[in-house]
Structures are given as structure tokens and as C-alpha cells.
Amino acid sequence: MTLLCRVQSVALCSLTRPQRLQKHIFMSVRMCTAKNESRRNWSKETGTRTNHWEWGATTAGVLLGLGSILIFDTHRRKVQAESEKEAVSSHFLPQYTRAEVKKHTNPSDRIWVTYAGEVFDITDFVDLHPGGKSKILLAAGGALEPFWALYGVHKSDHVLEILQEYKVGVISPDDKEEPLDFSDPYSGDPSRHPVLKVNSQKPFNAEPPLEMLTENFITPNVLFFKRNHLPVPNINPDEFQLIVERPPGAKQGKPLKLSLKDLKTKFSRHEVTVTLQCAGNRRSEMNAIKTVKGLDWGAGAISTARWAGVRLRDVLSDAGYTENTPNVQHVQFEGLDQDVTGTKYGASIPFRHAMSKDHEVLLAFEMNGEELPKDHGFPLRVIVPGVVGARNVKWLGRIIVSEEESSSHWQQNDYKGFNPNVDWDTVDFSSAPAIQELPVQSAITEPRPGEIITPDEDDGKVTIKGYAWSGGGREIVRVDVSLDGGKTWKVADLIGEEKKGLVWAWKLWQLEATIPAEDKEITIICKAIDSSYNMQPDTVAPIWNLRGVLNNAWHRVSVTVARDQH
């Protein structure tokens, strides 16, 4: 074994640096492939298929490939350190502004990134990146720190040593961030991850890249889609109080007021995994049919988190309500976010839904084991499982139980669906009910539209990934995938929580399929079926509406197939 390693080392030393890196990547990928093949076997004991793409599997593959590169590259540079070292002090390196770095995002202009105040030209490394070209290009023209925070594999001295080889300059010390304009109501908004696809800055609305969205069953907080209607409020948690209006005629005339401490100590803690989806998810596909009004969301306005807090029904009970309280039909939620006129965001859900033991409506103060982030409602928000995201009011300040729905614009004149022939001259928002539960949904997250895909050289297969979800607690029971535009269909493997009763979280899915040898361009389609056998419509046009909401048509992705000519 030792002799073999020495022979391999000699052979590698005869190659150029890019050739050596590619050789290490190839060897590592082959090792990962062999291991993954063994994981595909069906378990005789359980009758279930081993999930070789479970949490961390992707990172493990990257670790192996990257580790090979780093070990060899570090060894090479140590051996040749004295002869090849070009020790240049940062004092003498060119200085660049961040605006100049942002101009370098493609090979023709060179691909630059920054780290710890230094500038690196990584153009020659992009194709060699073990984590994939698409992942590293997400950081092009910007800082590496936010991305390395997501992928712990990079927190290594070896990685930093390799990165230094690509250094071309430093960030100018005069490049300071502009001071905040405190007259701007959005000046207090939190910082966001640069990988997000921004649909509007003020208010901030953004979605994660699809290929990152389904890397994990639980969406990391920084990647969870952001849907804000107004500026993010700055709330002192020590002074925060939730106000809950009492029933008419209650002995205690004054509203119930609860601090964060009260909520955490007076009521039982409850956790639930819930997928939230914006009603405008996939609106861009409706825009392609005919222009609609609203943010141009792709398929990323959906995410999943583990929420913790207290049950809404427990708080309402403490305020004096029972399931039989007369003359109440709705529970209104009022946020602490407001516009310049003082108008606050508001929404409501049916009272019976709020009081149901099965529906698990939550007043949440934690998200994925952490304090609620500012963008997601710190210090308190409503989580209404199975219901459109607009009713999951953030920065919750007041709860009102009433005979009427919320009178807010977002309940009465928004988030409603209409006939395709209704336009802005004829629309009557009072004629349609407010959206609550959402229809069955699915989308393809990998490959990306327009991507050039390369089938496996051994079996000609490609891997297709995506998500599927349905509102109202209906479980996804099947996802069908077609690689020939809908002529034939295959059933994907599903990954998700095992839960009895109502199911609030999505299912991730994956399919490994063989592409016919003659195909050079293919259209991949997915469609989901839920536990009530609701199915997605095949096209967008019949469900088009002027607000571009409720798009759940079959999701289509067209790609080019690249084949090895050797």
C-alpha cells in the first residue's frame, strides 16, 4: 500500500497543477460514488430504501474531494516553498473597492471574491471546485464569509493556504460603508445573506437559490425566504407585551397583557415543523403568460423550519375564551410593523382553526433552535400550519377575537384568487374569500433551467431533486417526474418527517433516471399528489389571475444534455 501511494505521488508530480487537482477530484468522486452505490440497497430488515442523500451527505462528498485537494496542494507548496515563494506584503498589493470587486463575476472579466479584507482572483479554480461550479459562483464579486458560514468544510487552515495563492489585492482602507440614513424607515433593517435572490429591497423580499433550498429538510434561518410588507420594526424584548383582547362581558375588563417571560413561563412549550409558502410562489410563470401585479417570485418562496413557542389556544383560554364562546368567528392578528402613516400589517384566521388541538397554531419565539431572527418576526410571531404565509403574522403585538375578519388591506384587498378573465377594471375583492389553505404544490430544484447536465458515464443516469407540499395538513403521497415532456412518468423517492395525523411540512424528493442516448434537449416535469388525491393542473394559463397567486401548475425545467464524446 505504501509503495502504491509513492507511485501515485510520483505520477501526480509529473502533472500540471490543474491536472493534479482534477486527478484528486476524480479519485475522490469515484470513492464517493462507490459508497453511495452501496447505500442504494434496500434494507431487508425494514423494507425501506436507505437514504444516501440524507442531511450532510452532500457535505461529506465535498469534504472528501476537498480534503484530497488540500492535503496534496499543501504538501506541494511546502516542498517548493523556498523556490516558488513570492512574499509580497499586503502593503504593496493593489487596493480595490468593493464596487470594483463586484464587476468581476464572470470569466471574461475574471472572477473575484473577498475574504478578511483581501481580494482573490479564483477564475482558474472555479471549474475545479469540489462543491460544484454553481455553488462557488454564488459568491462571485462578493465576500466568502457568508458562504463559508454555511459550509463548515471551509473552516480549515488548508483552505486558507490555497486561497492565498489566488490573492491579487486588498480592499482599500478608504472603502467604508455609507452611514445609515435614519430618515429612511428601512435603515434599521437587518443584514441579509448575499446569496438570496432579491425581488425588492424596500420592503425586503428575497428567495434562496433553488439548488440550496433542498440541500436540507430544515431550511437554515439565513436562507429561509424573506417576505416583508413594511419596514422591520426595532423592538426591545424587555419592554415587549402581547395584548390579547378579552371576550365581550368578561369579568376582567382590561385586555390580557403578556411579556415574553410570561409566555415562556405561564404556558407549556410546544414545537412543530412547518413549511411556509407565499401565495405568490412561482408568480414568474404567470408573468410569462400575461403580466400580473406583484413580486416576481420564482419557485423559492417556500421554506421549512422547526418553530417553538406556545399554543395560541392556550393563550386564548387564559384570556377567557372557550371553543363555545358565542359571537366569535375570527382571530385577528396585528403586527408591530407599520408604514409612515402608522398603518400596521394585519391578518386573521377562523376562530375554530385557532382553537383546534389538531391544528397546532403557535405563538413562536424560536426558529430552528434559535431566537427568532428580526426578519422572521422577533420577538414573537404567529405560525399557522397549512395556511398561506400571509396569515403567519410577524412581530405580533395584538390579538383580537371578533365576528369579522381583519379589516386590513392584506386580508380584504389582497391574497385572493380570481377568474382568468377578471382584470383590474372589473375586479371586486369582496366577491372572493381570503386565501387560507394552499393547494398541492411541487417544484424541481435541481437541475436548474437552462443548465447543461452530464449523465453518469457508467449508467447514463442523472439526479433530479425537488420539493412537494400541500396545505391543510394533507400529506404528499407521491411525486411523478417525466423526462420526456409528460409522455411517460416515473415515481420519485420521498424524504420527510414521519408524523401521524395532519402533516405540516414538505416532502423533499429525488429521482435517478436514465436519459435516452439520443436526447440532447429535454424538458423535466414534476407533479405531486396529496393524501386527498388532489393533483396539480398541467398548465398555468387556466389558473392565471391578476394577482399571480396560487400557481401550482406542473413545474417544468428545460436542460441541455452534454455527453462524453470519448
Instruction: Name the residues annotated as catalytic.
Output: 129, 154, 227, 278, 415
Is the alpha carbon torsion for 171, 177, 178, 179 positive or negative? negative
| Residue matched to cell numbers 395560541 | 312
- Classify residue 186 by its DSSP letter: T
Q: What angle do CA 175, 176, 179 make, to 5 degrees?
A: 150
Task: Report helix, strand or coil for 512.
Answer: strand
Q: For residue 67, what is its C-alpha cell?
A: 480534503
Longest dimension (CA), the chain: 89
CB 440, CB 536: distance < 8 Å: yes
Q: For residue 89, what is its C-alpha cell?
A: 506584503
From residue 205, give the alpha-carbon distance in Å to each of 209, 279, 301, 442. 14, 13, 9, 21
Cα 252 versus chain centre, distance: 44
- Classify residue 128 by its DSSP letter: G
| Residue 292, C-beta contacts closer than 8 angstroms, at least 6 positions apart | 283, 286, 544, 545, 546, 547, 548
Cα 307 versus chain centre, distance: 16
Helix and strand element counts for the chain (H, E): 14, 27
The 10 Å Cβ neighbour count of residue 449 is: 13
Nearest partner of 223 among 206, 237, 201, judged by Cα: 206
Task: Report helix, strand or coil for 157.
Answer: helix
Cα 350 versus chain centre, distance: 29
Phi-psi region of 294 (alpha: psi -120 to 50; beta: other; left: phi over 0): left
- Classify residue 390 by its DSSP letter: G
In DSSP terms, which residues pair with 468 in a beta bridge?
A: 442, 507
Return the C-alpha torsion angle 296, 300, 301, 307, nearest 10.
Answer: -160
Cα–Cα distance for residue pair 342/208, rounded to 1 Å: 31
Strands 242-244 and 226-227: what pairing? unpaired
User: At residue 425, what is the residue type?
Assistant: D
Q: For residue 191, what is its C-alpha cell?
A: 443584514
**Could you write out the DSSP letters of every residue in 405-455?**
---SHHHHSSS----TT--TTT--GGGSPPP-BPPPEEEEEESPTT-EE--
Q: Is the peptide bond before 447 cis (omega within 30 degrees of 0)?
A: yes
CB 461, CB 455: distance < 8 Å: yes
